[in-house]
Amino acid sequence: RNQELSSSGHCLVLSRLANAVTPLWRLPYQEQLQVKYESQRKILQTLASRLEELGIDAQKPGGLCCPLQPVVPSPIINGYRNKSTFSVNRGPDGNPKTVGLYVGTGRERNIVCVKANHVENIPSKHKQVAQCYEEFICQSPLDSCILFHEGGHWRELVVRTSRRGHTMAIITFHPQQLGQEALATQKALLKEFFTSGPGAVCALTSLYFQESTMTRCSHEQSPFQLLHGAPHIFEELLGLKFRISPDAFFQVNTAGAEVLYQAVGELCQATGDTVLLDICCGTGTIGLSLAHQVSKVIGVEVVEKAIEDAEWNAAFNGISNCEFHSGKAEAVLPQLLASWEDARPLVAVVNPSRAGLHYRVVRAIRSCRAIRRLLYISCKPEGEAMRNFLELCCPPDPRKKLAGEPFAPVLAIPFDMFPHTDHCELVLLFTR
């Protein structure tokens, strides 16, 4: 009876995890696409209403701000993620060194860390590395770091893979009061475990270690230390080879990214004399994949290592019409566009994080008369991106220093980059 109860409780917590991480996993895929279409339709209705409040006649058939095309399906439905982040915390069985994903909330104080073995969007290789990492830290005399002020050391694991068969593992460690000699010992044990111990089964291409006293650290704040293997993994996308650093942005669904970027290329309507402005360019994937269509690509990205990757990617692929700028878009772009005198057509593609574009970036885009066409790619259009949409489309506002002719949304296409979840990547085309 105890075994039955234990098994029942285990199945319940696995279902809770699947429902939290992949809430649509029980639905047939075509039904998932329909659910996502309806959610994107509501977002466009909201945008239309918000624009109406600003005095802009944006109501189209169905109450939308612009036509909405059907959701473009993902070529791969299961195990599509090329990057997974696993936490370390107390599991359902009380093990404080469980490596998995969170269920529950801090507010209700019912957080528990559950192994991701049954989560359908995570590939088996990622689950294998997570299991090996858990085995290693369970053997370690050092505690896991659940709350910073309570001590402990072992923290999250990031796994990145490519279709070329490469696997990168990045382990975050809180040093607390450990000295350099003690840290060196832990790094040596970790390397030994994954190269000649039980973890060797993972066949890691790269093993990184980061000492971090914060929830998230950039390479500049705390360098990624290579313990084993190559400093980068490589991916092929649309016939090009891309180098990926530990913290560089790369679309999480590689096959889906190919479909997305091909569509972006068509929507740009770029000709041979077009200049493509790739804002939040990451490792340069969008700009480089479209470089053959345009006369020049200008990329802007805040992560310095990603810019190094983008420059390497351009050189390796023999692409010479690209230039990349490292720094915050709100610092780089206004300077770049303020002195813009190039007579060639200028098309902008923006692919920001969920935080959206800084208002200075929107201001610079609005003020640049050469930009007549803008593609905004958002994984959360109902969030901060909505603020950007309104800033792009509102009448000139001297109080907000928003000058220049406003844009208007003309077409929306959702791409299912995240099957089994309720998220979509929305491409919204603006013109003026």
C-alpha–C-alpha distance, residues 364 and 13, integer Å: 49
Helix runs in 140-234, H state only: 180-195
- The per-residue pLDDT for 271 is 84
120 is in an annotated binding site: no
Task: Please give the span between the terminal C-alpha atoms of the chain, in angstroms, as a whole number.
Answer: 69
Domain residue ranges of the chain, discontinuous segments joined by +: 83-230, 253-431
C-alpha–C-alpha distance, residues 101 and 340, integer Å: 47
Q: Are 276 and 296 spatial neighbours (Cβ–Cβ below 8 Å)?
A: yes
Q: Are 126 and 149 spatial neighbours (Cβ–Cβ below 8 Å)?
A: no
301 is in an annotated binding site: yes
Which residues on neighbouring strands pair with residue 346, listed in sequence order? 275, 371
Q: Does residue 326 register a pLDDT over 70?
A: yes
Q: Does residue 204 register a pLDDT over 80?
A: yes
Most trustworthy range by pLDDT among 60-64, 133-137, 281-285, 362-366: 133-137
C-alpha–C-alpha distance, residues 116 and 134, integer Å: 12
pTM of the model: 0.90
- The per-residue pLDDT for 1 is 38
C-alpha–C-alpha distance, residues 59 and 65, integer Å: 5
Q: Which two tokens stand for residue 144?
A: 């896991």
Dump the DSSP string for 204-227: -SEEEEEE-SSSS--TTTSPPEEE
C-alpha–C-alpha distance, residues 362 and 403, integer Å: 10
Q: Are 297 and 291 spatial neighbours (Cβ–Cβ below 8 Å)?
A: yes
Residue 290 CA, chain-centre distance (Å), reads: 20
Mention every residue, 6+ apart, whose C-beta is less than 8 A from residue 134: 97, 98, 99, 115
The arithmetic mean of pLDDT across residues 355-367, rounded, is 92
C-alpha–C-alpha distance, residues 186 and 28, integer Å: 46
List the one residue out of 252, 267, 250, 231 whose CA is nearest residue 348: 267
The radius of gyration of the chain from alpha carbons, rounded to an integer in Å, stands at 23
> Mean pLDDT score of the chain, rounded to an integer?
91
251 is in an annotated binding site: yes
Residues serving a catalytic function are: 379
Residue 8, burial from CB neighbour count under 10 angstroms (0-12, 13-18, 19+): exposed
pLDDT band at 341 (very low <50, low <70, confident <90, very high): confident
Q: Does this chain's domain 83-230 share its CATH topology with 253-431?
A: no
Q: Does residue 5 register a pLDDT over 50?
A: no
- The per-residue pLDDT for 304 is 87
Which residues on neighbouring strands pair with residue 157, listed in sequence order? 86, 171
C-alpha–C-alpha distance, residues 426 and 414, integer Å: 4
User: Dihedral of CA 248/254/258/264: which sign?
Assistant: negative
Query: For 253-431, CATH number?
Result: 3.40.50.150
- Domain range 83-230, CATH architecture: Beta Barrel (2.40)
| 369-397 pLDDT per residue, tens | 999 999 999 999 998 999 999 999 999 98
Q: Are 80 and 420 spatial neighbours (Cβ–Cβ below 8 Å)?
A: no
Residue 241 CA, chain-centre distance (Å), reads: 19
288 in helix, strand or coil? helix
